[in-house]
Amino acid sequence: MRTPTRLRTLLLAASAAALTVSGPLSAHDHEVPLPAYPVSETGDVVETIFGNEVADPYRWLEEDVRNSAKVADWVKAQSELAADYLAALPGREAYEARIKELYNYERFGIPVEKGGNYFYSRNDGLQNQSVLYVRDGLDGEPRVLIDPNKWAEDGATALAGWVPTEDGSKLLYGIQDGGSDWRTARVLDVATGEVLEDKVEWIKFSALEWAKDGSGFYYSRFPVTEEGETFQALNTNQKVYFHKLGTPQSDDVVVFETADRPELNNVGVVSNDGAYLITYSSSGTDNRYEVSLIDLAGEDRTPRVIIPGFESNFSYIGNKGSRFFFVTNENAPLQKVVAIDITSDDLAREVIIPERETKLDGVSMVGGKLVAEYLVDAKSEVSVHALDGSEIRTVALPGIGTAGGFGGDADDREVFYSFSSFNQPTAIYKYDLESGESSVWERPEVAFNPEDYTVEQKFYTSKDGTRVPMFLVRRADIAASGEAVPTLLYGYGGFNISLTPGFNPSRIAWLDAGGAYVLANIRGGGEYGKAWHDGGRRENKQNVFDDFIAAGEYLKANGITTPDGLAIEGGSNGGLLVGAVSNQRPDLVDAAHPAVGVMDMLRFDRFTAGRYWVDDYGYPSKETDFNLLLSYSPYHNVRDGTDYPAILVTTADTDDRVVPGHSFKYTAALQAADIGDKPHLIRIETRAGHGSGKPTDKAIEEAADVGAFLAYHTGLDLSGMGE
């Protein structure tokens, strides 16, 4: 598959009162004292926007911690406060030990074959970064090709994507440092392991695509930022370049740009036959593209627009001669497959696989066939089709879960795919395209029995009557007894992103302690296609919060969670979700974890990639959108005089996707407000970004801190974790 994320008008005074807080006494035999919050200086920023007097007393916390000593001091004080509190939580050390034990299993990535070499990632369990291996033949002896664990002492420099040449002789790979979205590309010789002199920088939100002859590669980059603005400046003027091997980056040639529209994203992919470069231009996060074609074999490299208008998704699958296959939602909200003959005058769309009643999530062209992945109530189903669209068979998957992969070349007879679920870590399967048989290539051994846990799918009714699915995961004995237990409810609800069953070791630790885990497939995601996404964005954003609130109400009303045992969690757009729901229904929620969240909805579009998010959120500069954003912005709607749940905010000082100022300002507002005696803390990771590339040891430590916090404030007893 080839496809190119209200402060009203009063200034709040910082509270210096020391608090003592406790979790439910039925689960804990001691209270954890909370020292006084650090005083967050309040500024005098008040702006009149569309007739609204809007205070922003913590505007100064938007400054980059690298450039502002005052922000650095605030971060240090908040981090010390949170570290002391979290370390004192009962059962935390045993909980971390269990998470570490669960993380310690061998895991593999899907192998990629080129020129008889098989490339794949592997982690022995507790390595901070997975290692890239190569085999000469599928059964050949594994050889380490790239070990990113040697790149940085703190393990925070990661291998961020890799692509071999068609003959398998060279490998193009990306380097990510400290969790940043910026990438540096390097090339190595596969036979010798030698890193070549080629070095390309300032890459972000880009494909890495070899020319089929291996002479060089295509990539997208932004201009060099001003000094001190690398991690906060808006990203504009993205161009597609070609880098010829053996030359400096300064010689790289621009092959595609939209100089008259600097706000557009531009990404290029090479056709499977190597004859064309397909370029995608988009204005935001929506899958709405203008698609152009560059004939790489011809003398005239002028791009030819074949899909104009920025109206629909057209994701290139592959081509056979002049027939190009695309996944599209044009007149098909659940998506379909079409073919376009690029030599025709009208570029008519021939329907190959028509729209079905379930969401078409992606398609691969491999071995002369089309492999289609569907989402059926957020679970994977896969079918194999001939190039005329006729269905050959379905792929027998191991159970309820998520499948992915199925990539390869036109002459491949086999493909590899992954499968995982809440109680099953990712296993890699080899699939024979002719016989339809799957066989295990690598399946990890884990420190638990998957059969000890049950995975159920339930449906509940939201505020407006919409039927919403959720996955419920519990220990089998708890599910059988029907006992109400503290429950962790997770959600996202945005950007057409589908949440599907997947494995997380820390979730198993939560289940082992006796808790339940629930994933709610709320609107705003892509589980049911365009209508589901549209139902949870812009003017419909409140539906997302209503769906999540209804999930919590369902869990309590049906005796799944205890009356005071509901924890909610979400990251990025999901952090916004948790912040908004904590404001709107603090009586429902007992503990909350908003991670790397978008918390200031009036200024999100002023930093790095934030300007893209207007597709889901709307424009703060437009009055109608502004009023909607102001109505739910977590930072602006902290409700004085209302008891709030315990809240642990998490972010990273080097997050350049959702800049940490969002979480800093939100935390300062929480701590300054009169919202009860439960703790409202922020945990700030160092040299970690939005999530990708995070070292294993940091992930384990953070999961232990968050889990222990949520457990303490929902009554989940961790005292037996070490037994």
pLDDT at 690: 79
Rounded to a whole number, what is the distance in angstroms from the first to the last CA of the chain? 45
Which stretch of 63-67, 313-317, 319-323 has the lowest confidence by average pLDDT?
A: 63-67
CB 692 within 8 A of CB 158: yes
Task: Report DSSP state, residue 62.
Answer: G
406-427 pLDDT tens trace: 999 988 999 999 999 999 999 9
How far apart are alpha carbons 314 and 291 in whole angstroms? Answer: 8
pLDDT at 18: 30
pLDDT at 722: 61
Tally the residues of the chain: 723
Q: Is the pLDDT of residue 35 over 80?
A: no
Percentages of the chain per state (helix, strand, coil), in multiples of 5: 20, 35, 45
Residue 381's CB: how many other CB atoms inside 10 A? 16
483-501 pLDDT tens trace: 999 999 999 999 999 999 9
Tell me, yes or no, if 40 is annotated catalytic. Answer: no
How far apart are alpha carbons 467 and 520 in whole angstroms? Answer: 11
Number of C-alpha atoms within 13 angstroms, CB side, residue 255? 28
Q: Is the pLDDT of residue 28 over 60?
A: no
How far apart are alpha carbons 702 and 692 in whole angstroms? Answer: 14
- Assign 480 a pLDDT band (cuts: 50, 70, 90): very high
Q: Is the pLDDT of residue 103 over 90?
A: yes
Which stretch of 170-184, 554-568, 703-717 has the lowest confidence by average pLDDT?
A: 170-184
Q: Which residues pair with 487 in a beta bridge?
A: 516, 566
Tell me, yes or no, if 439 is annotated catalytic. Answer: no
DSSP string, 340-404: EETTSSS-PEEEEE---SSEEEEEEEETTEEEEEEEETTEEEEEEEETTS-EEEE---SSSSEEE
**Region for 593 from its dihedrals, namely left if φ exceeds 0, alpha if ψ lies in -120 to 50, beta otherwise:** beta
> What mean pLDDT do residues 255-274 have?
95
pTM above 0.85, yes or no: yes
How large a percentage of the chain has pLDDT more than 90? 86
Q: Which tokens hold the place of 532?
A: 């589901």
The beta strand positions in 310-348, using DSSP E, are 314-320, 323-328, 336-341
Phi, psi of 512 (to 5 degrees): -60, -35
- Assign 146 a pLDDT band (cuts: 50, 70, 90): very high
How far apart are alpha carbons 507 and 102 in whole angstroms? Answer: 10
Catalytic residue, candidates 572, 582, 633, 663? 572
pLDDT at 226: 82
How far apart are alpha carbons 23 and 33 in whole angstroms? Answer: 11
Q: Which amino acid is at 497?
A: I
How far apart are alpha carbons 713 and 721 in whole angstroms? Answer: 17
**Rounded to 5 degrees, what angle do the CA atoms 512, 518, 523 make?**
160
Radius of gyration, alpha carbons of the chain: 25
pLDDT at 332: 97
638-665 pLDDT tens trace: 999 999 999 999 999 888 889 999 999 9
Q: Which tokens hold the place of 215?
A: 């002479």
- Assign 29 a pLDDT band (cuts: 50, 70, 90): low
How far apart are alpha carbons 353 and 337 in whole angstroms? Answer: 5
Residues 6+ apart with CB under 8 A from 83: 683
Q: Which residues pair with 171 in a beta bridge?
A: 164, 188
Q: How far is CA 323 from the centre of its chain?
A: 33
> What mean pLDDT do residues 25-53 have?
83
Number of C-alpha atoms within 13 angstroms, CB side, residue 314? 26
The beta strand positions in 170-246, using DSSP E, are 170-177, 183-189, 195-203, 209-210, 216-221, 239-244
Q: Is the pLDDT of residue 342 over 90?
A: yes
Residue 215's CB: how many other CB atoms inside 10 A? 13
Residue 10's CB: how many other CB atoms inside 10 A? 11
* Among 555, 477, 553, 564, CA closest to 514: 477
Parallel, antiparallel, or unpaired for β 32-34 and 336-341? unpaired
How far apart are alpha carbons 167 and 185 in whole angstroms? Answer: 20
How far apart are alpha carbons 85 and 242 in whole angstroms? Answer: 51
How far apart are alpha carbons 123 and 144 in whole angstroms? Answer: 12
499-534 pLDDT tens trace: 999 999 999 999 999 999 999 999 999 999 999 999
Catalytic residue, candidates 385, 636, 690, 713? 690
With 0-12 / 13-18 / 19 or more C-beta atoms within 10 angstroms meaning exposed / middle / buried, residue 467 is exposed
Average pLDDT, the chain: 93
Q: Is the pLDDT of residue 9 over 60?
A: no
Q: Is the pLDDT of residue 27 over 70?
A: no
How far apart are alpha carbons 628 and 607 in whole angstroms? Answer: 20
Q: Is the pLDDT of residue 1 over 50?
A: no
Task: For residue 202, give the 3-state DSSP assignment.
Answer: strand
Task: Tell me which long-range contacts 559-563 makes (C-beta under 8 A, separation of at least 24).
Answer: 559/482, 559/484, 560/472, 560/484, 560/485, 560/487, 560/516, 560/518, 561/484, 561/485, 561/486, 561/487, 561/516, 562/484, 562/485, 562/486, 562/487, 562/714, 562/715
* Among 631, 627, 629, 634, CA closest to 649: 634
**Region for 198 from its dihedrals, namely left if φ exceeds 0, alpha if ψ lies in -120 to 50, beta otherwise:** beta
> What mean pLDDT do residues 534-551 have?
98
How large a percentage of the chain has pLDDT more than 70? 96
Torsion of CA 481, 484, 490, 496, to 10 degrees: 70
Q: Which residue has tokens 């384990």?
A: 700
Residues 6+ apart with CB under 8 A from 614: 284, 605
